[in-house]
């Protein structure tokens, strides 16, 4: 769970894809996955809840004391559905296709395309073109560009970033939204199976016992190598991605690179 406090700037949309780009609220929206929305009035502050067609949450918005409650009420009234029944249609998800076997992959071609990347955003297209899953791609990566590391690496990375006042980026996604934190982390607080960041404007709640694999991944860009720490669950689904904070046109922070280099391989 990835929680940010801030003001939504004006969103921009290109077809079903949306961008909310602000200093605090930073989102990538995939509206083709959004299916239903609810206004909830439990507790002191109301909230908005958005779901996909399978009934899984894609995004939630909780008002704060400083929020404009009158505007919230107006929004709810404008978009109130005529259907207020207690039943909601949901669709069972399609079975996930098994990955193609490694020997069906053009591994030399895939590795050459990896090494030719100029931007980290090219990675998603690379996976599609070569028909590989994300974790399969990491296994088949060019030598030195992907390495599995110890399961406690997320805690080590967050502790190191906090100790060094090192700004980082943390990406957490649902099927319909990617939410990004960019900035420092200060208070890292493990509690039982949970690894938490408890900062005034950013909370992260990670079930560390649900993390099966952790990878250090190096992708070439026009600004040099960009290094990520990538977390996956038992179904090979991405839980979270962590990067050093950077802007396009600038090389990766050497302090982030040095921190990641301390993580032991497995």
Angle between helices 153-163 and 254-261 (to 10 degrees): 140
User: Are both 254 and 149 inside the same structural domain?
Assistant: yes
Q: In what order do the strands lie in the sheet with 57-62?
A: 36-40, 47-51, 57-62
Is residue 113 a contact partner of residue 132, using CB atoms and an 8 Å limit? no
**C-alpha to C-alpha distance for 8 and 29, rounded to whole angstroms:** 13
pLDDT at 190: 96
Domain count, the chain: 2
**Mean pLDDT, the chain, whole residue set:** 96
Tell me the mean pLDDT in the region 125-143. Answer: 97
User: Are both 177 and 74 inside the same structural domain?
Assistant: no
User: Are both 164 and 241 inside the same structural domain?
Assistant: yes
Residue 84 lies in a domain: yes
pTM: predicted TM-score of the whole model, two decimal places: 0.95
Q: What are phi and psi of 239, to 5 degrees?
A: -95, -50
The alpha carbons of the chain give a radius of gyration, in whole angstroms, of 20
Residue 231 lies in a domain: yes
User: Are both 239 and 165 inside the same structural domain?
Assistant: yes
Going by pLDDT thresholds of 50, 70 and 90, the confidence category of residue 204 is: very high
Residue 202 lies in a domain: yes
Residue 104 lies in a domain: no
Q: What are phi and psi of 202, to 5 degrees?
A: -150, 125
Domain-ending residue, one of 92, 116, 133? 92
Residue 65 lies in a domain: yes
User: Are both 155 and 254 inside the same structural domain?
Assistant: yes
Domain region containing 62: 34-92
H/E run at residue 226: strand 224-232
Burial of 7 (0-12, 13-18, 19+ CB in 10 A): exposed
- H helices present in 150-262, as ranges: 153-163, 254-261
CATH of residue 165? 3.40.1570.10
> Is 104 in a helix, a strand, or coil?
helix
Going by pLDDT thresholds of 50, 70 and 90, the confidence category of residue 153 is: very high
Residue 27 lies in a domain: no
Residue 223 lies in a domain: yes
pLDDT at 96: 87
Judge whether residue 147 has pLDDT over 80. Answer: yes
User: Are both 149 and 247 inside the same structural domain?
Assistant: yes
- Quick: pLDDT tens for 81-130: 999 999 999 999 999 889 999 999 999 999 999 999 999 999 999 999 99
Say how many C-beta atoms besides its own lie within 10 A of residue 230's C-beta: 21
Residue 16 lies in a domain: no
The DSSP symbol for 262 reads: T
Judge whether residue 42 has pLDDT over 90. Answer: no
Judge whether residue 43 has pLDDT over 80. Answer: no
The proportion of the chain whose per-residue pLDDT surpasses 90, expressed as a percent, equals 97
Judge whether residue 44 has pLDDT over 90. Answer: no
């Amino acid at each position: 769970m990835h929680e940010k406090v801030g003001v939504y700037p004006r969103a921009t949309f290109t077809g079903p894809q949306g961008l909310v780009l602000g200093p605090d609220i930073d989102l990538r929206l995939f509206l083709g996955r959004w299916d239903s929305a609810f206004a909830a009035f439990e507790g002191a502050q109301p909230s908005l809840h958005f779901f996909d067609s399978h009934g899984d949450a894609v995004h939630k918005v909780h008002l704060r004391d400083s929020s404009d409650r009158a505007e919230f009420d107006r929004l709810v009234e404008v978009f109130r559905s005529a259907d207020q029944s207690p039943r909601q249609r949901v669709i069972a998800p399609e079975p996930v296709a098994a990955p193609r076997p490694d020997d069906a992959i053009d591994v030399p071609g895939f590795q050459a395309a990896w090494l030719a990347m100029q931007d980290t955003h090219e990675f998603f297209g690379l996976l599609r073109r070569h028909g590989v899953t994300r974790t399969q791609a990491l296994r088949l990566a060019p030598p030195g560009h992907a390495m599995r590391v110890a399961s406690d690496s997320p805690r080590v990375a967050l502790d190191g970033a906090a100790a060094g006042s090192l700004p980082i980026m943390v990406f957490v996604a649902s099927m319909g939204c990617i939410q990004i934190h960019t900035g420092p982390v200060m208070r890292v607080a493990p509690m039982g199976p949970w690894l938490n960041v408890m900062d005034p404007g950013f909370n992260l709640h990670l079930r560390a016992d649900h993390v099966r694999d952790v990878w250090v991944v190096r992708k070439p860009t026009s600004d040099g190598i960009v290094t990520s720490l990538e977390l996956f669950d038992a179904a090979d689904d991405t839980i979270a991605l962590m990067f050093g904070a950077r802007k396009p046109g600038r090389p990766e922070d050497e302090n982030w690179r040095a921190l990641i280099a301390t993580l032991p391989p497995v």
